[in-house]
Structure 1
Amino acid sequence: MPTVSRHTDAIAASRVIGTNVYNTAGESIGSIEDVMLDKTSNGIMFAVIGFGGFLGIGEKYHAIPWSLLDYEVDKGGYVVPFTKEQLEAAPVYSINELTGADGTRARDASYDYYKVDPYW
């Protein structure tokens, strides 16, 4: 069933991974590298957005609450409501840090930084 914004309620993770992500100015900030799932609540903890680096070397990752990503058909990607400066100041992680402590450290820091009400 479509949502109010004509998006569907469900999407396969395989369709999300690799999708480009843009900031509010329309600048590409990276792509979705993975999606972290909360096993206990059956929800999505956050999207892992990869940015920077070249051929995977030096790449850093943002943990962005899923609710902040809005798919825009005309861009063929997700848009997050942040400026370049806000994203540059956001917490960054290595892949290992994102999964440490079952992802809760990155999740908590992300929801705090972006001022999103926790779903848990």
Structure 2
Amino acid sequence: MRYRVSVILLAFALLTFKGAQSTAEDQPQAKPPPAAAEKHTPPPSVTIIGPKDARAVLGLDVRSPTKEDMGHIVDVIVDRAGKVRAAVIDFGGFLGVGSRKIVVDWNALHFGRVDKNSDAVTLELTKAQVAAAPEYKEDKPIVVLGAAGKLQPLDEP
């Protein structure tokens, strides 16, 4: 009798184990990722630019060809394709009082060293031409002041 109980318990244990195994097999297994996900993504390209070869433009002083102070660049305007079209210059005033923003064509600006100590941008316009330019206001049509014969209108798609 003892032998029979042991056999019955052993059979029950095997059936229980087999049932647990088949239940685990019936469960959906995690699928391996598709081959596309396994492909190696190439690393991004890297370019090293020396500190003397590139500068940020926001805040740079703008000078006329005769070295008159024309203000400083406060923003850059790009078209829908991401091409730089113009610069917004904070012009006139004293310590921010009485100043106004005007927009000049990017091609009218020349970047370089003005003197040994400072970088500045030279604008191909006179102070009188810039003073006569309409003021830039957000959410209003932008009037871009360009050097003689160099401004090209933005072609709307």
Same fold (TM over 0.5): yes
Quote the residue 1:4 is aligned against.
none
In structure 2, do the counterparts of structure 1 residues 26 and 37 end up closer, same or farther at CA, with 3 Å as the change threshold? same
- In the alignment, is residue 29 of structure 1 matched against residue 29 of structure 2? no
Quote the residue 1:58 is aligned against.
98
Question: Contact conserved, 1:111 with 1:117, CA < 8 A, in 2?
Answer: no
| TM-fit CA distance, 1:27 | 0.5
Cα deviations across residues 66-114 of structure 1 (Å, max 9, x unaligned)? 1111012134111111112111111123xxx1x315xxx21xx215786
Distance 1:31 1:62 in 2: 11
Q: Identify the structure with bigger relative contact order (alpha carbons < 8 Å, sequence gap 6+).
A: 1
Question: Contact conserved, 2:62 with 2:71, CA < 8 A, in 1?
Answer: yes
RMSD between aligned alpha carbons?
A: 2.6
Cα deviations across residues 29-54 of structure 1 (Å, max 9, x unaligned)? 1000111222x221123101002234
Quote the residue 1:20 is aligned against.
61
Question: Contact conserved, 1:37 with 1:44, CA < 8 A, in 2?
Answer: yes
Alignment match of 2:139 (pick from 89, 100, 103): 100
Alignment match of 2:83 (pick from 43, 67, 81): 43
Distance 2:68 2:145 in 1: 23
User: Which of the pair has more CA radius of gyration?
Assistant: 2
Give structure 1 stretches of 5+ with no counterpart: 1-7
Task: Indicate the larger mover: 47-56 or 20-29.
Answer: 47-56
Quote the residue 1:68 is aligned against.
108
Quote the residue 1:85 is aligned against.
128
TM normalised by structure 1 equals 0.68
Give structure 2 stretches of 5+ with no counterpart: 1-52
Distance 2:111 2:104 in 1: 14
Question: Number of residue pairs matched?
Answer: 100
Distance 1:52 1:16 in 2: 19
